[in-house]
Amino acid sequence: MQFTSVWLREPRRSGSPGRSRDEIVGAAVELLDREGLDGLSMRKLGAKLGAGATSLYWYVATKDELLELAYDQVWGEMTAHDPDGVGWRDAVSALAHSMRQVILRHPWSADLIGRLPALGPNAMRVSDAMRRMFKVAGFTGTTVDFATATLTAYVFGMTIPEVAWDTTMGEAQHDPDELRAAVRKVAADYPEMLESVEMDAYEDPRTVRELCFDFGLLSMLDGLERRLTT
């Protein structure tokens, strides 16, 4: 099967006044944010833009091409600081938190990770900046690739289940006390699990997730930094 990507061909110029590919992509992202991947169609997007669905195919050959463009726009919201100015650990940490927040802000993007190639200019900018952060840290050769893969695997691995939980359980709006009682019942024979359920102090779940993400991120960075001295 031949590999194809919207980024491998020159973008077509606007076929009508006042319309551009950026305008179409922006409208697609708004639709995706509101209705998710299942809610995006050329027909709906055309209606939103006041244009026929067939006219959109002048700019994108397929729906997957449109998703590639929308996916790259999401990467454009990620913040990458100069490691020479703030230090490599702070730069990596800020980028990791930024990646997480962007995915949470656009939950549909979680379903595209690993499914669509991240070859757009925004994704390339972030990936290039990430590699530079680890080079400044002292990683060389293939260890730069391993370090970047470790970081993205951590961010995606922590964030994608969070998106799934918010999408399913969040929409169901379960009562926290009722959910806790259910967990207490199934954890009755497992003292370590029961201990966490019976904790007196419960913080806001989103705050706990943020603290958990930061704890794991700092631990991962500690481990990467230690490898530089061995």
pLDDT in tens, 96-124: 999 999 999 999 999 999 898 899 999 99
Looking at the domain 6-75, which fold is it?
Arc Repressor Mutant, subunit A (1.10.10)
Give pLDDT < 70 ranges for the chain: 12-19, 53, 169-174, 198-203
AA identity, residue 109: S
Q: What is the pLDDT of residue 205?
A: 76
Report residue 4: phi and psi, to 5°.
-130, 155
Q: What is the pLDDT of residue 122?
A: 97
**CA angle 76-77-80, nearest 5°?**
85
Let me know if 186 is exposed, middle or buried by CB neighbors in 10 A (0-12, 13-18, 19+): exposed
Looking at the domain 83-227, which fold is it?
Tetracycline Repressor; domain 2 (1.10.357)
Cross-strand bridge partners of residue 116: 113
Give the domain ranges of the chain: 6-75, 83-227
**pTM of the entire predicted model:** 0.87
